[in-house]
Structure 1
Amino acid sequence: MSDIQRINPDTLPDAGAMGYAQVTTCTPGKMVFISGQVAWTPGGDPAPDNLAEQAKMASSNLGKALASAGAGPENIVSARAFIVDYTEEKGAEAFPEILAFLGGNQVAFTLIGCAALASPDLMIEIEAIAVV
């Protein structure tokens, strides 16, 4: 079993108050690398036209991918979310859904604005690294 430590040093801005960690360390374990998850279903249903709903679905898909490797949100050590045409308002719409999925686990997290994703209907994609 891996030991994961989340660090928010007082020499950096308080990321913990915003729901993530400035630094994450872990002891050796099985590394799990999750490809970017989006708001797609196995049946090919169209992605919702709402960023918050897409963030919720992408987070759910991330959870399913983690579970397939024997992991959960508590095992994530680092994650990135890519948001099309990122603005602060879009971050405020998407991040609460991601934080809800993480369940208080403050992972090392980065939000990245991008021009486009794999399909024009996609607004957000989330990738992660976990250790079990």
Structure 2
Amino acid sequence: MPKLTIQPLNPPILPAATGNYTHGVQVDGAGRLVFVSGQVPWGDEHGKIPDSFEEQCRMVWRNVLAVLAEAGLGVQNLVKVTTYLSDRQYRALNSKIREEVLGEHAPALTIIICDIYAEEWLLEIEAVAAA
């Protein structure tokens, strides 16, 4: 199987990509793709949804990472992440937590401010990974 390479695509005519993302991603040598359904702040053993955005965001990332781990993958395999935020006020904290989770890895990224399926959910994250 060919070696997987994930190459960032940041054309010089675009502003620099900052905050743990890249404008595009080229994947070569992928033998498989993993699509992570929208993960929400659900999964506490007691069925409780955290009140704070920070707790919800960390729980959602935990869920995303659990799906990746089930496929034998990690954050380094992420090629596209889409985050749905219920309110613009969560942008900075969302970015901070995403940077903690991803470290130096910078996948293609989209953030959408919108209504979320359940009112108590403050965000949802879906992703695509390659291996």
TM-score of the pair, normalised by structure 2: 0.90
Aligned counterpart for 1:38 among listed residues 40, 58, 72 = 40
Query: How far 1:9 sits from its partner (Å)?
Result: 2.3
On the 8 A contact 1:60/1:101 being kept in 2, the answer is: no
CA shift in 2, pair 1:48/1:42, >3 Å: closer
Question: What amino acid maps onto 1:104 in structure 2?
Answer: E
On the 8 A contact 2:20/2:102 being kept in 1, the answer is: no
Query: How far 1:120 sits from its partner (Å)?
Result: 2.0
Deviations 1:22-49 (A, max 9, x none): 0101013210000011111163431111
**Equivalent residues in 2 for 1:60-79, closer than 5 Å:** 60-79=62-81
Q: Determine what percentage of the aligned residue pairs are the same residue.
A: 32
Structure 1 gap ranges (5+): none
Question: What amino acid maps onto 2:124 in structure 1?
Answer: E
The count of corresponding residues between Structure 1 and Structure 2 is 128
TM-score of the pair, normalised by structure 1: 0.89
Deviations 1:58-82 (A, max 9, x none): 0111001001011110000001000
Structure 2 gap ranges (5+): none
RMSD between superposed Cα atoms in Å? 1.4
1:81 is matched with which residue?
A: 83
